[in-house]
């Protein structure tokens, strides 16, 4: 790590102008949350492997900013050459740079790896001391990363209409209507899931996210797709041609953005064939002269190629269009979650049996101290990784399975307190019947993406653990049964999941819910349920998806989280105050909650009724997917409870 920092500082010194600091973001050229191995530059320089964070290297220091999900993980992974900066507790990175770097300081960053929003925000922060953001011509980390993984060249996959539910032609028609409404003549689309959704394509360029590295430009009468052409089969090329999509090399988006800025981007101009006019007819009347760019998703590099006064900086209309699931996507998500729920139940039943046979645990249903069998062969021991591998096996046997939707968080005891813990073979913990086990996992199926968390104990949980679990469950139920008027945001609903925890002075450092894709990213916006101000931006609407996942994490001891995927639907309330219309949620995740972890005396009758109803549906819905012994286990897991 010291050699990497020294090499980077040498490049910073020789840069023109010399750099006082270098920013290394987590994001790739598309501002993605999850990135390919080649794009994990921040991991490479810092050693921190979480999905969110930012590294800052100065001539005499190295700093890593990350959020509350990763405080424990970062503290463990960073060497003593790095200082952990806790978002929400320490100054934000732009404020810190403005306050701590010298006047006239030059701060370098690869402009492809930060968004327009971020660059403009930093420019404002730097102005008071005449500091400046310097877009580097090349990525300095790539210069020192000698064994950087190669660029992905995996085949592009056409996503069939039977799963997509809406044709490319209809999506383009809807997008162009929005372009006209906003008086824009084109849009540059950079978010990988938006490009994939718009063109009904998928890929395997990024682990866990079925996307392909690509950009898109859509004008009022032309459609462009920027991708490594080696990824397209003859069938994929035919598909593009049928849909009127002109395929260009990935890197040509840069020069085409320049053509677009001067209103000279047409299929004939990039094909180098003569054309009667270099201008598009739509702009001749002066009605549409702006280019639409999403400031949160578009990289600063492409924005710099446009005329700033001719750009509409506004959230992409595709974000909301993608979030509002069509009937085919909705049905697919429900079916995917049934198969996924069956896989998780099969896993829990298998794990219950293993914990009893190998470790002498009382098991999923009984409460007793384990009769530990210490003389185990290594081949007999269950670890966080070997257990999660078994869960993947169960999922892989299901129809339409295409892989996991994120690295499984399989965590025992104190590891569960690391919110986004990622176990690794060789260093992970062995399962322990006397400690809480938290498993947050999900899968990609052709008809939907899943994400579910359950927390279990195979021995005798303490009264404190039961109280904490029950408080999390109460918050989970409270949010899951909420009714609220149209126009309500996830910011307003977040408190419902936290109130039962607040009663005890407990809380958690992550958001409560995120959207989920249709065989796309497991984290999908623009909607969210969170305490973060950004959750105020977009109201929840019918046919959106959102997770319900409160938790509690006790450092050094255990973690608890419960998560279901919900669909927002019409509320059917008795009254309709303000004539707004009301909304509620439909649960589509089907996995039981562990009854022995619940302190039933803390539940009110409505919560007990909800729990029994949910468990009854679990048993009914999953029955056709299970064998007899698995069904017997599920029946026991879902037997009604009473106070």
- Asked whether the predicted pLDDT for residue 321 surpasses 70, the reply is yes
pLDDT in tens, 506-540: 999 999 999 999 999 999 999 999 999 999 999 99
d(CA 253, CA 217): 8
Q: What percent of the chain has pLDDT over 70?
A: 97
DSSP SS3 for 564: strand
CATH class label, 157-266+287-323: alpha beta
Q: Given this model, what pLDDT does residue 371 score?
A: 72
DSSP state of 207: T
Mean pLDDT, rounded, of the chain = 95
DSSP string, 102-145: PTT-EEEE-TTSSBHHHHHHHHHHHHTTT-EEEE-SS-HHHHH-
- Asked whether the predicted pLDDT for residue 283 surpasses 50, the reply is no
Q: Given this model, what pLDDT does residue 379 score?
A: 73
CA 66 to chain centre: 15
Buried b (16+ CB within 10 A) or exposed e, 88-106: eeeeebbebbbeebeeebb
Q: How confident is the model at residue 458 (pLDDT cuts 50, 70, 90)?
A: very high
Q: Given this model, what pLDDT does residue 282 score?
A: 43
CATH of 327-368+380-638, one of 3.90.230.10, 3.90.1150.10, 3.30.70.260, 1.10.357.10: 3.90.230.10
Mean pLDDT of 109-128: 96
pTM for the model stands at: 0.94
- Asked whether the predicted pLDDT for residue 339 surpasses 60, the reply is yes
- Asked whether the predicted pLDDT for residue 278 surpasses 60, the reply is no
Residue 350's nearest CA partner among 458, 473, 462, 465 is 458
Q: Given this model, what pLDDT does residue 370 score?
A: 75
Q: Which residues pair with 148 in a beta bridge?
A: none
| Domain residue extents for the chain | 1-144, 157-266+287-323, 327-368+380-638
- Asked whether the predicted pLDDT for residue 193 surpasses 90, the reply is yes
Residue indicated by tokens 């069939």 = 160
- Asked whether the predicted pLDDT for residue 438 surpasses 70, the reply is yes
- Asked whether the predicted pLDDT for residue 275 surpasses 60, the reply is no
Q: Given this model, what pLDDT does residue 284 score?
A: 44
What's the fold here for domain 1-144?
Creatine Amidinohydrolase; Chain A, domain 1 (3.40.350)
pLDDT in tens, 583-632: 999 999 999 999 999 999 999 999 999 999 999 999 999 999 999 999 99
Q: Given this model, what pLDDT does residue 372 score?
A: 63
pLDDT in tens, 20-72: 999 999 999 999 999 999 999 999 999 999 989 999 999 999 999 999 889 98
Q: Given this model, what pLDDT does residue 373 score?
A: 56
Shared fold status for 1-144 and 327-368+380-638: no
d(CA 478, CA 493): 10
Q: Given this model, what pLDDT does residue 380 score?
A: 82
Helix (H) or strand (E) holding 198: helix 192-199
pLDDT in tens, 356-414: 999 999 999 999 887 765 667 777 899 999 999 999 999 999 999 999 999 999 999 99
DSSP SS3 for 153: coil
In degrees rounded to 5, what are phi and psi of residue 510? -125, 170
Q: Given this model, what pLDDT does residue 285 score?
A: 43
Q: Given this model, what pLDDT does residue 145 score?
A: 97
pLDDT in tens, 293-313: 999 999 999 999 999 999 999
- Asked whether the predicted pLDDT for residue 274 surpasses 70, the reply is no
d(CA 91, CA 58): 16
In degrees rounded to 5, what are phi and psi of residue 287? -85, -35
């Amino acid at each position: 790590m010291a050699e990497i920092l020294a090499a980077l500082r040498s490049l910073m010194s020789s840069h023109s102008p010399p750099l006082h600091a270098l920013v290394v973001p987590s994001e790739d050229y598309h501002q993605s949350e999850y990135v390919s191995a080649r794009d994990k530059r921040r991991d490479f320089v810092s050693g921190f492997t979480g999905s969110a964070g930012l590294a800052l290297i100065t001539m005499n220091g190295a700093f890593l900013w990350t959020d509350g999900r990763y405080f424990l993980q970062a503290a463990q992974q960073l060497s003593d050459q790095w200082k952990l900066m806790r978002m929400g507790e320490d100054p934000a990175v732009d404020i810190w740079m403005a306050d701590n770097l010298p006047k006239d300081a030059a701060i370098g960053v690869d402009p492809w790896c930060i968004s327009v929003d971020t660059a403009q925000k930093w420019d404002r922060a730097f102005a008071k001391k005449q500091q400046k953001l310097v877009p580097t011509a090349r990525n300095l980390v790539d210069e020192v990363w000698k064994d950087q993984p190669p660029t992905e060249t995996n085949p592009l996959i056409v996503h069939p209409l039977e799963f997509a539910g809406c044709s490319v032609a209809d999506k383009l028609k809807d997008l162009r209507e929005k372009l006209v409404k906003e008086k824009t003549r084109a849009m540059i689309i950079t978010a990988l899931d938006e490009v994939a959704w718009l063109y009904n394509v998928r890929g395997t360029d990024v682990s866990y996210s079925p996307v392909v590295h690509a950009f898109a430009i859509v004008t009022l009468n032309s459609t462009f797709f920027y991708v490594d052409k080696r990824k397209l089969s003859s069938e994929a090329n035919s598909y593009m041609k049928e849909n009127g999509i002109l395929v260009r090399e990935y890197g040509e988006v840069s020069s085409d953005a320049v053509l677009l800025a001067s209103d000279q981007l047409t299929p004939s101009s990039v094909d180098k064939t003569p054309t009667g006019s270099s201008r598009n007819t739509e702009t001749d009347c002066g009605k549409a002269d702006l280019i639409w760019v999403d400031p949160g998703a578009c990289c600063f590099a492409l924005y710099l190629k446009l005329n700033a006064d001719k750009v509409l900086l506004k959230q992409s209309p595709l974000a909301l269009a993608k979030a509002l699931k069509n009937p085919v996507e909705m049905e697919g998500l429900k079916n995917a979650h049934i198969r996924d729920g069956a896989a998780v139940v099969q896993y829990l039943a298998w794990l219950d049996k293993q914990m009893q046979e190998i470790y002498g645990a009382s098991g999923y249903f009984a409460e007793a101290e384990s009769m530990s069998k210490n003389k185990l062969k290594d081949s007999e021991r269950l670890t966080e990784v070997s257990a999660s591998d078994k869960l993947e096996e169960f999922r892989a046997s299901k129809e339409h399975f295409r892989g996991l939707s994120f690295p499984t968080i399989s965590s025992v005891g104190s590891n569960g307190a690391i919110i986004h813990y990622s176990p690794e073979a060789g260093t992970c913990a062995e399962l322990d019947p006397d400690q809480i086990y938290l498993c947050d996992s999900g899968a990609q199926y052709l008809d939907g993406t899943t994400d579910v968390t359950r927390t279990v104990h195979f021995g005798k949980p303490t009264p404190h653990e039961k109280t904490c679990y029950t408080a999390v469950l109460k918050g989970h139920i409270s949010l899951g049964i909420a009714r609220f008027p149209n126009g309500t945001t996830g910011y307003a609903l977040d408190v419902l999941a936290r109130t039962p925890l607040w009663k005890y002075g407990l809380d958690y450092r992550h958001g409560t819910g995120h959207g989920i894709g249709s065989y796309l990213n497991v984290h999908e916006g623009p909607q969210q349920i969170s305490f973060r101000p950004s959750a105020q931006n977009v109201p929840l609407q019918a046919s959106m998806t959102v997770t319900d996942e409160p938790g509690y994490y006790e450092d050094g001891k255990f973690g608890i989280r419960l998560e279901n995927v919900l669909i927002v639907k019409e509320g059917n309330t008795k009254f309709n105050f303000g004539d707004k219309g009301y909304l509620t949620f439909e649960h589509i995740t089907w996995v039981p909650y562990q009854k022995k972890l619940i302190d039933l005396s803390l539940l009110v009758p409505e919560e007990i009724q909800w729990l029994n109803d949910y468990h009854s549906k679990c048993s009914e819905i999953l029955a056709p997917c299970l064998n007899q012994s698995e069904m017997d286990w599920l029946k026991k897991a879902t037997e009604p409870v009473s106070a």
